[in-house]
Each structure stands twice: as C-alpha cells, then as structure tokens.
Structure 1
Amino acid sequence: MSCFTDMAISQKVARQSAEEGYCERCSTRRAILVDCCELSSDFSILLSLYQESEDGDELIALIEQDWAIFSPAVMDRKALLNDLLPETVGVRYATSQPMDNAAQRRWVALKDELKYKNRFFPESAPDAKELAELLGLLVISQNDLPKSFFRARVQRGDVALGLGDLVAPPIGVAQAGRANPPGLSYLYVASDPETALAEVRPTVADVVAVAQFEAVRSFKLVDLSDPRSLISPFRLGLEALSNVRAEMAFLTMLSEDLTRPTPAHKAAYDYLATQYLCELIKRIGYDGVRYRSSLNTGGHNFAFFDVTALSPVGLRDPLFVSAVTLNTVPSSAA
C-alpha cells in the first residue's frame, strides 16, 4: 500500500489484503502487502492510452508524466510496473492520442484574450459542462479539510488590529485577487498560521495579526492544489480516461497560476484568467477553491466565494517579524 500515492489503488490494497510486513520495494516496515498480479487488471486500463512504438519511450516514463500513481519511496518504479504489467517488459510506447500542447495553448489563448480582446465573453473560454465534469473529480471531502483556518494582516500604525479588522474587505473595496475581480469580496484564508503569515509578505519589524476562523456551515470546495496527483485514472471509464488526460494540462496550468506569486502592480491583468475560471467554478455551484501556497511549502490557501461561510473565533498573539528569508529566482520569472 505504501508503494502508491494513488488513493484508488491504495484503498484496493487495503481492502484485499490483511497481510502486513516489510515491503522491499518502498522499504516500509509495516506495509499492507498484496501480490502484484492482483492489481494487474486495474493497471491494464492504462494501456488504452499508449501504443507500441519502436521510437517510443519506456511505459513508466509516459505513465509518470501523465499520472501520480507511485510513491517516491519506491526505489525502482520501472521494476514494480513490470511486475504489475509483465506483458509490457521490453516494449516501448508512445501516447495513442498525443496532446501536442493543445491544453497549454488554450490556456495561453484564454489569458491573452481576456487581457487584450474580450474581457467578459471570451471565445476561448472552456465549455462549462466539460469543466463541471472535470471539477467533479476534484471535490474535497469535508474530512480532508482543516478544523480551523487562518488569516493574517500586517498592522499599519501603533493601534493593534482587532478581530473585525481581519474579516474579508467590504464589497466594492476589495482589490483584485487570484480568485476575485476588483470590487467582489472573497474570503482568503490559509490552512495554518505559518502559511497565513507568509502570504501577507511581511518585512522586518512588521507586526502581524493572525485570526482563527471556523466553518459555520458545510460547503463544497474544488481542490486545485495539484490536479495531477488528485485525479486517479483507476476511477475513470475508458472514454473519460482519455478525455481527462487531455485536459490535465489545462487544470495544471490553472493550478500553477493560482499558486504563482504576482507583484501587486501586475495583479490587475495577470489574475484575469484565474478570476474568470473561479467565476465559472462559482457559477457551477462550488463554494470556493483550495490551492497551494507558493510562500510556505506544504501550506494551502483557500478562497471562499461566500465570506460568511467562515466566522472569526479569536486572535492569536501578534507576531513580530525579526527576519525575512530571500530566495533567488530565474531571470525569466522576473
């Protein structure tokens, strides 16, 4: 079970085996063990995406490019795949339906059209029905959400911030954000205090207030933190499998743009595409999105479309910033 990050396969291993012991593949001492032949029929569905080709690649390279199935702890993922699909040993493959960067081009086209041509009715917008089907694969279980959420704000001046100062800004006052167009108020919160602190980008000697929020109702969120690792090919039919693989790059680019830090002076234009997609997500019926934090590794941020979905329940002790870590970035990212 510890050999896989894919939840569908991990759950099947847990259901089909009560044997526990040392796993030589991932070096887990108390792993749930199952014979590879019991999973071969599940993995064979992946072969519908690839065809034999003398000029192709090893199957493991193609699968790992498209899906996040195997745990990084597996020392030899190629050998594991060979045991799962022994008929593929020594065979080279190519994708049956090459994506040819079509999804990437569509994302770039949408961004450019929103910036320079059609702000509200872009011709390059994704089909709402197809988008809804994809988003249905990324719904977050309530059990996977934190019990508390956190929001930070840098104190300006000598007056300490109160709890009411850390709620979402009033309608009409909100600046453009990753998910919200200017004027629309969304509630941005983080999964933990450290991420909330990092997201306000404090400088040395700043005092930062951090408020804790809790849910006042149930809600349905879309997880855009890492679509490739969240969507399991083993829960899809043959037709859906090919379609989802083709759209994975589009979802991944949306995820990356939500995560990527943007200077304030570029936000009005750089966030147009993510704002547009979040408006579509809201119209489809979701309450918000989760995305990765670029400023705190392992942390997550949330954008709630309904600012009343969470309620502030208390303030943490103010934090004094004594140091800030600076990281160099490639010149192309500047």
Structure 2
Amino acid sequence: MNLEGFFLTNKDALHDASELWGSFKDEVLYKNRFIISHEVLDYITNLSENHKTIIESERVLYRARLFDGDVSAVRHLNDLAKNDENNSGNSSFTLEHAFFLQHYNLKRDPGFWGYNKQESFIPLKNDFINDGRANPAFIKYLYTAEDAYTAMVEVRPYLKSVVSIAEIRVNSPITVADFSYESLKDLQSVGEILMYLIMNDFSKPANSDKKSYIPTQYVAEFIKTLGLDGIRFNSSLHGQGRNITIFDYKDCEPVSSSLYEIDDICFEAKNIAPKGLPDLLHDKLLMARQKEVDNILKRN
C-alpha cells in the first residue's frame, strides 16, 4: 500500500490520530513541559506494553559518524597492516606502525580503523551532549541501527565523504518499545496510526529548530519511565532499515570500526503533479529495472 492509499483507507483514524498528536505537541510546547496528563500518554503506555522487542546478548548494532580524520594516513596504515598480513600471516603492529602512529598522532585501538573505541561510542561528558530527537541536552542516549547500511544513510553523507561505522555489541539483553511496522497496511487503529505519526517525527532530520525536538524528547523520556531500555522504529531513509535508540547503554560496547567512502547516492522519485511526467530514477536503478524486465522476457 502506498502513502496515498493509506491516507484514503484510514482517513477517519488518521484524522483522530493527527488531532491527538497535534494536541499533545501543543501541550508540551506551549502549556506544560514536565508534568502533563494527556490521552497520548495512555496510548503510548498501551503500545509500549504490547509492542516490545528483546535485543539479545551478543547482538551487534551499528553506529555511524561522518569521519573528519586523516583518511590518507589510515589508508597508509591499512596498507602496512596488509603487507604484514601477507608476509607473516597476521596483522600485528610493527616498529614501522608505531613510528607512523606517532607521526600522525593517531590514537588507534586494535580493530578500529575509523574512530577509536571511545570516539565510536558516546561522549564521556554530559556537557557535550546537544539536543537530539530523543534526548534532551546533556542527557546521553545511544543512537544505533540494526545494519551498517542504515546506520550509514542516517548520517546523511555526501559524495566522497567518509563515514566511520562502528559495531556496537550488546553484552546483556535489553528490552525496547518496538514502534516499527512492516507495511502501512498493518496500521489501522487510532493507536497504531498515532505510533506511526510519532515515529515519523522521530525520523525527521536534525535541524536548528530545537523546539521541534521537545515532543519526541518527552515521548522518549516517558517510555523510559515505563522501565524500557529504548525504542525501535523504522528508518525514514532506508525502507527496510530499523533504528534503535538506547537509553540504558551501560551494557553496550564498541568492538570495531570501519571506514567507507561514499562513491554514489541513488534516489528514486515518483511523479505526483502534474500527472503524466516520468518518475525520476538514478541511472543505476534504471539499469537494474531494465535488467529485471529483460530477464522476465527471456524466461517467457
């Protein structure tokens, strides 16, 4: 089901859910900030109790950051490690590595090719924490994705930018409110559509208007008071991707990081108005679709 069909099929429930969410945002923005009583919180309580996911121990999640370090130095270090591996069967540090690290002032932990272990995690000091979609300023949350690709696109990289992607291991099981959904057709009740609207706001890109963060921050803090460790929701940048924001991250640990350079960015846009114009597709997508058509014709 596309978005247009979803709106037409569920217009009454969508109207009610939109009214509720709009009323809640107005309440926390302009009337009461810290202690409120609102019907939306009843829905969130019910949804959180009935939609939970356990992130099992040893599960690996991913956290990405745009890399602003010396990429050429890291490439050279990687070449040195590869030479060692080819010559001795392992990638242990040599004296040449040590001099190189000292020269470039690289604080590299074994297994971390992008940011080091600490830089791949959360800043140590709360004073460095800015407002986020889920966290208020000075309160640390861990933002992760379930796969490396989703983590990468969530930082909105540009062509030729370099992204450091860290693997974050969950060392003990954590329980999160699962507000994700597989298809729009699964959302029919007022509560389910309300969940969609809230998570849609969670997925919006960061901007300078910190006021827009307040409603989602309140929701996250409220879910935390229910005894849950985080929130799982759909990525707005990767259709199959899922993000997990973790409140209680003490049992999570960065175990490695890798660097990726952005070679290409593919978009697909559907014509809305005026009708009759072609959809806009990246050349790679056009070629892939043509290949699918050719394969179908060959089979027939």
When the two chains are superposed, the root-mean-square deviation of aligned CA atoms in Å is 3.4
CA deviation string 1:143-183 (max 9, x = no partner): 7x993101111112426521221102332322221211111
Instruction: Look up the match of 1:106.
Output: 20
Deviation of 1:99 after TM superposition, in Å, equals: 5.1
* Mapped partners of 1:311, 1:146: distance in 2: 10
Question: Residue 323 of structure 1 aligns with which residue?
Answer: 264
What aligned pairs does 1:173-192 form with structure 2 within 5 A after superposition? 173-192=128-147
Percent same amino acid among aligned pairs? 26
1:278 aligned onto 2:224: no
* Alpha-carbon distance between aligned partners in 2 of 1:289 and 1:263, rounded to the nearest angstrom: 18
Distance 1:307 1:154 in 2: 22
In structure 1, give the amino acid aligned to 2:178: D
TM-score (norm 2): 0.64
Distance 2:163 2:15 in 1: 43
Task: Mark the runs of 5 or more structure 2 residues left unpaired by the alignment.
Answer: 71-105, 107-113, 274-300
Q: 1:324 to 1:296 in 2, by over 3 A?
A: same
- Residue 283 of structure 2 is matched in structure 1 by none
Residue 292 of structure 1 and its aligned partner are, at CA, apart by: 0.9
Partner letter of residue 165 of structure 2? V
Does the 8 Å CA contact 1:262/1:270 hold for their aligned counterparts?
no
1:190-234 Cα distance to aligned partner (Å, 9 max, x none)? 1111111111111122221111111111111111112987989xx
Shift of 1:276: 0.6
Residue number among 256, 260, 264 corresponding to 2:207 in the alignment: 264
Per the alignment, residue 51 of structure 2 pairs with: 138
Distance in 2 (CA, whole Å) between partners of 1:168 and 1:230 is 37
- 1:150 pairs, out of 62, 85, 90, with 62
Deviations 1:228-258 (A, max 9, x none): 87989xxxxxxxxxxx934233222112222
Q: How many residues align?
A: 224
Q: Judging changes above 3 Å, is the alpha-carbon distance between structure 1 residues 263 and 134 closer, same or farther for their aligned structure 2 residues?
A: closer
Aligned twin of 1:161: 115
| Residues 76-127 of structure 1: per-residue CA shift (max 9 Å, x gap) | xxxxxxxxxxxxxxxxxxxxxx758333211101112222332223454634
Distance in 2 (alpha carbons) for counterparts of 1:228 and 1:146: 28
- For residue 248 of structure 2, the aligned residue among 291, 303, 306 is 306
Residue identity in the other structure for 2:264: A
Counterpart contact for 2:14–2:193, Cα < 8 Å = no
Alpha-carbon distance between aligned partners in 2 of 1:230 and 1:218, rounded to the nearest angstrom: 31
Residue type of the alignment partner of 1:115: L
